[in-house]
Structure 1
Amino acid sequence: MLKHLSRLRLFALLGGLLLATACTAGAGADPAAPYTEGSEYVTLPGPAQRYSPEGKVEVVEVFSYGCIHCAHFAPTAEKLRAALPKGVVFKLVPAPFSAEWLPFARAYYAAKKLGVVDRTHLELFKEKFEQNYPLNTLDDLADFYARQGVNRAEFMRIATSDEVTAQMKSDLALIQKWGVTGTPTIVVDGKYRSGEVHTFDQLSAMTQWLVKRELAGK
């Protein structure tokens, strides 16, 4: 069961960057639906709180490179991304849920800015959890990206920039509004959050079901 994946404490960091709990996910049911509201997924209260103003239906995975469950889900998430219908976008949002996870969030934002996420995302998980590289600090991560052909100094400059700190704060505030308390968690169109699923395949299938529901509504 993908319920209690990991728990970390809420505390403040970086002079006001609030950090919340993490690595869990997870009430009304339609008997005709294949998934149960309040169990496998949750409808978020209030108006939709989307990650971006693109106008497309969006699928957001809240994740961390420090989360082994995210590493296990990553290949399935890539297949999910490829299977999403036209007019749907897939986005990654890193969760800075602890001091240990901050470097991973900074690394993701820097990699995104440098345009290398697509070719480094799975490889980072692989090196950390399969090959057991010491990828824990920002320096460790800078070495990883340098091995991938990224300019190390430029990576460090972006990862430690005020711009990245501001993005981290903004994204964390939205993650908290979504009620995300663990990773990996999927949020569809700022309206639905994954809950207590039993397998990663179920999480992927439910996401596609919610996406189709959103597309039909539009």
Structure 2
Amino acid sequence: MFKTARFRLATMLCGLLLTTACSAAAPGDTAAPFTDGNQYVTLSAPYQRASSSGKVEVVEVFSYACIHCAEFSTYADELRKSLPKDVEFKLVPAPFNDSWVPFARAYYAAKKLGVLDRTHDLLFDKKFKEQYPINSMDEIADFYASQGVNRGQFMVIANSPEVDAQIKKDLALIQAWGVDGTPTIVVDGKYRSANIKSFGELVDLTKWLVQKELNTKQ
């Protein structure tokens, strides 16, 4: 069974056992390949989105502190590239506990400085594949400095009131979605991934939910 990294308050319980990916049928097939209440859940209205763009929204709730998110990152990259042009892919960093908040700060600082695209997967690789000690805010800042980012500027943005407010907003949104583990996918603030057996199945589920939502907007 595939398990996300799950949290209750400040307690981190991580576990993952990947089995063979289940192949999803096309959205138009007679029998739905995924079941509400099993692989995904339909959230209660009013649906809360991460943005107001009007496009169908795919959100990955993640953390740089989560090894499962690191393992999913390649799948997430391919998923983002495969989505229709009228669908947007977003990342929301999960500030589930004190040890994860610095990584959420890092995400927004990197985004503000325009280095997110080139450092996103690299941070995962350095932390988990190369096992660099990247945990504290100082260690995270050192990583970005090694990538040519001004360390002082990075720290100012990461610890700014604006980032404080965004992290607070993210936590409220994640709680409203009922997300308690990473990686989790939320489609249009309406559907949340649940009991998933593999990363491949999570990608297939996301594509199916996206098409389901697009169909309702036609």
TM-score, L = length of structure 2? 0.89
Query: Does residue 64 in structure 1 map to residue 63 in structure 2?
Result: yes
Which residues of structure 2 form unaligned runs of 5+?
16-29
Whole-angstrom CA distance in 2 between matches of 1:23 and 1:211: 28
- 2:5/2:183 contact within 8 Å kept: no
| 1:123-134 map, 5 Å | 123-134=122-133
User: What is the SS of the residue equivalent to 2:172?
Assistant: helix
Whole-angstrom CA distance in 2 between matches of 1:116 and 1:89: 19
Question: 2:18 is matched with which residue?
Answer: none
Flag as ranges the 4+ runs of structure 1 deviating above 4 A: 20-24
Whole-angstrom CA distance in 2 between matches of 1:120 and 1:136: 16
Whole-angstrom CA distance in 2 between matches of 1:172 and 1:61: 14
CA offsets 1:72-131 (integer angstroms, 9 cap, x no match)? 000000000000011000000000111110110110011111111111110000000000
Q: Give, in angstroms, the shift of residue 133 of structure 1.
A: 0.4
Which residues of structure 1 form unaligned runs of 5+?
12-19, 25-30
Question: 1:203 is matched with which residue?
Answer: 202
- 1:10/1:97 contact within 8 Å kept: yes
- 2:5/2:68 contact within 8 Å kept: no
Query: Does residue 138 in structure 1 map to residue 157 in structure 2?
Result: no
Whole-angstrom CA distance in 1 between matches of 2:13 and 2:192: 15
Whole-angstrom CA distance in 1 between matches of 2:14 and 2:137: 20
| 1:103-118 map, 5 Å | 103-118=102-117
- 2:62/2:182 contact within 8 Å kept: yes
- 1:22/1:181 contact within 8 Å kept: no
**How many residue pairs get matched?**
204
Whole-angstrom CA distance in 1 between matches of 2:108 and 2:201: 28
Q: Give, in angstroms, the shift of residue 21 of structure 1.
A: 7.1
- 1:22/1:97 contact within 8 Å kept: no
| 1:1-218 map, 5 Å | 1-3=1-3, 5-10=4-9, 32-218=31-217
Identity of aligned residues (%): 64
TM-score, L = length of structure 1? 0.89
What letter is aligned with 2:155?
Answer: M
Whole-angstrom CA distance in 2 between matches of 1:80 and 1:21: 27
